Amino acid sequence: DYRFERVWFWGCIQGVRGAYYIAEGLGPDRAAPRRRLYSLNCLDWSLLTPASREKVARARQLKGRFQGDPSFQYNLADTSAEAAETLLEGGKEPVIKEETRLIATIEQIDKAVGIVPRGAFVKTPLGSVHENRHFEGLSLVEAKKLCSYFHFTEPVNLKNKTLLEKANLDPSTDFLDSLEHDIPQGSWSVQVEKGGTVVVLRSLLWLGLTFYHVPMTKQYGYIYFGTGEKNIDLPFML
């Protein structure tokens, strides 16, 4: 119905009374904002309408488990008295629907730990990003290195690199941030399974995010199965 070029299953966020199953729809430009759908039973799907940056920023302040009800309302006064006061002064109610929190959490996870292998995507001179038809997978040696994987989001560290560092990069494939500089260091677990035929990366920051890649093939992807809560204790656990 939405004329997506491709649809993939993103994962599941488990709530107290139910779970949200998430799917993402992709268009021709893979770097364009994705449209997401959610379901409570894997049969009836609803489109998650993008929320304003202001609402998303407020939703990120919410703590605790999801309830599993999209219409459930959180009172901001319980988490941030200042934000609630600001809203009241502006004549708005200091409440946030769980649906908005769901959008904010998915975006946060995608931005922090949504990853792809190096070379899987190419950037055209016009700025759009497409799947690389010549990508045949990473070798087993390369697949074990964190620098062989990129965050599939707007780069931050890349802009801070010196001209000397950028000289060795290919602008068509190295246009994203690699995982080797992630903070805190040690937030990724790299494991080789099935006798070296599958490389699995697990995020320790967002527990439940698992990425896989079959070396020397085009097979890769990630999925999230968790509570939608960030592991803020990670620096003390490493």
Answer positive or negative: Cα dihedral of 29, 35, 231, 189: negative
pLDDT in the model for residue 163: 58
Whether residues 19 and 94 share a domain: the answer is yes
Identify the sign of the CA torsion 137, 106, 201, 11. Answer: negative
Q: For all residues of the chain together, what is the average pLDDT? A: 82
Task: Please check whether residues 125 and 201 belong to one and the same domain.
Answer: yes
pLDDT given at position 223: 93
Does the residue 1 lie in any domain? Answer: no
State the pLDDT at residue 169: 67
Q: What is the pLDDT of residue 83?
A: 57
pLDDT at residue number 22: 94
Same domain, 21 and 107: yes
Please indicate, yes or no, whether residues 29 and 107 belong to a single structural domain of this protein: yes
Pair 21, 85 in one domain? yes
At 92-143, the pLDDT tens digits run 667 788 888 899 899 888 888 888 898 888 888 777 788 888 888 888 898 8
Tens digit of pLDDT for each residue in 1-34? 888 888 889 999 999 998 999 999 888 777 777 8
Q: Give me the mean pLDDT over the 189-217 stretch.
A: 90
Most confident region among 122-136, 143-157, 191-205 by mean pLDDT: 191-205
Average pLDDT over residues 199-213: 92
For tokens 């939608």, name the residue: 228
Please tell me the total count of domains within the chain.
Answer: 2
Task: Name residue, tokens 């990670």.
Answer: 234
At residue 84, the pLDDT reads 54
* Same-domain check for residues 75 and 139: no
Whether residue 171 has a cis bond before it, omega within 30° of 0: no
Determine, yes or no, domain membership for 107.
yes
pLDDT band at 37 (very low <50, low <70, confident <90, very high): very high
Stretch 183-198: mean pLDDT, rounded?
Answer: 85
Sign of the dihedral through C-alpha 86, 90, 91, 96: negative
- Same domain for 124 and 217, yes or no, is yes
Q: Are residues 139 and 150 in the same domain?
A: yes
Residues 139 and 231 in one domain: yes
Residues 84 and 148 in one domain: no
142 in any annotated domain: yes
**C-alpha span between 238 and 234 (Å, rounded):** 6
Q: Is residue 119 part of a domain?
A: yes
Rounded average pLDDT over 77-81: 63
H helices within the chain, ranges in order?
53-59, 81-89, 98-113, 140-143, 163-166, 234-237
| pLDDT of res. 200 | 93
Extract long-range pairs of 60-65: CB within 8 Å, 24+ residues apart: 60/104, 60/105, 60/108, 62/96, 62/101, 63/229, 64/229, 65/15, 65/16, 65/227, 65/228, 65/229
- What is the 8-class DSSP label of residue 140? H
Kindly give the pairing relationship between strand 220-226 and strand 6-14.
parallel
Its domain, for residue 145, covers 115-236
Residue 69 lies in a domain: yes
> Do 105 and 139 fall into the same domain?
no
Q: Report the C-alpha gap between 112 and 109 in whole angstroms.
A: 5
Model pLDDT, residue 20: 93
Residue ending a domain, choose from 85, 112, 139? 112
For the chain, how far is it from start to end, CA to CA, in angstroms?
46
Does the structure show a pLDDT above 80 at 170? no
Of 56, 78, 112, which closes a domain? 112
- pLDDT value of residue 168: 62
Burial class (CB within 10 angstroms; exposed 0-12, middle 13-18, buried 19+) of 133: exposed
Question: Which of 71-85, 121-135, 207-221 holds the top average pLDDT?
Answer: 207-221
